[in-house]
Structure 1
Amino acid sequence: MTEVSFAKAFVSALDSRPLKLSADHVEDPRSFPAGRPAHILPKMPKPMSKPQATSSQPAKALTVTFKSLRNPPLDISIPPQDLSTSMHALKSSLESASGIPSAKLRLLYKKKPVPDSKVLKELLTEEEIAAGLDNLELAVMVMGGANVKPPVSAEPEKKVAETEAFWGDLRGFLLQRVKDEKEGGELYDLFRASWEASKD
């Protein structure tokens, strides 16, 4: 008889015997034999130390950075966002910053797509929140057919000829070429008067 077969036979023999103690058995300590004293465990010399809170504050807002290595290349950071900010709101912020329609943008975190319904807090682990993480990088995938609009400037650009710097350079050039201050001044006045007349 091998050891394995012996162990199986022994266990099956034990299974066939009736249980002497039920699973919820409770014994009255007063029924213990008088000659056997109860053993009381000693108290611990030091109380168990409680985990101390870390000095770093939990993250409440995150600076979000959008990066795309493919065409069009993007590297845009937006101001700190609350942890309850949705991905849809982030895409709207990215649309206003890059000019790419939000419908053509896909956000990825750790190489996995993130649905619009998720919020920033759902992307982070409890450890990252407790550690006070303050920056989050999201990859951006731009779907086909998206045209990047140039950012709209707040002020209309002036034409070069409308700037005083241009006319100052022209006066200096004429004086240098003609080498006569009076004649150079007359040519300058003629050029400027002609240009002013052509505007009207």
Structure 2
Amino acid sequence: MTTVDESTFAKAFLHLLGGQTLIHHDDYAPDPASLGPRPGLVLLPPMPTPKRKRTPATAILASITVKSLRPPHFSFTLDDTPYTDTVLLLKSRISEKTDFPAAALKLLLKGKVLPDTKTVEGIVDADGKASLVVMTSGSPITPVVAAASAAGSAAPAEVPASKPEEAVLDDTIDESTWDTISAALMSKLGDAKATKVLDRLRRGYALV
């Protein structure tokens, strides 16, 4: 029996494999890391998944929250706003709620003034919501001051008549009364303690 060394066997086996046709599956892709450096070969990064663009339609409605930047302060939400509405239409709806003319309103999104021709679709986020800041100029068409003026023109309230001054009572205590109080204290407390109590009473009464 002939003995074949390991090196000869490995070469014969590899030669046999090299003569066979290698078949790959249709989805086979070699690992770029195993290819090694090749001149002219550029590996491109994977392409991002394209975002699906919203299709504007009157059936899609947005929720727009508006808040004033300066007094008079107001804050409310415009629900059921079509994506096809423009900023100018938003100003008209705000004007109906605030009595400010539409021309006196500026709508800001993230610190930038929105043009009147911009649509709601370009303002709202993926959830169909947006928060706008409103800058006002001038005064409302029906200012609150008018209501205050009307209230001020009403008949003045009646001033209650002053009460007649009450007679001033003479509440001074003469010395004879103090002597009577001193005698009563001495009979109950003794001379030393009665003197201290009487002194406190006189000083307290003087402060009243």
How high is the TM-score relative to the length of structure 1? 0.42
Query: Between Structure 1 and Structure 2, whose CA radius of gyration is higher?
Result: 2
The higher-RCO structure (CA 8 Å, 6+ apart) is: 1
How high is the TM-score relative to the length of structure 2? 0.41
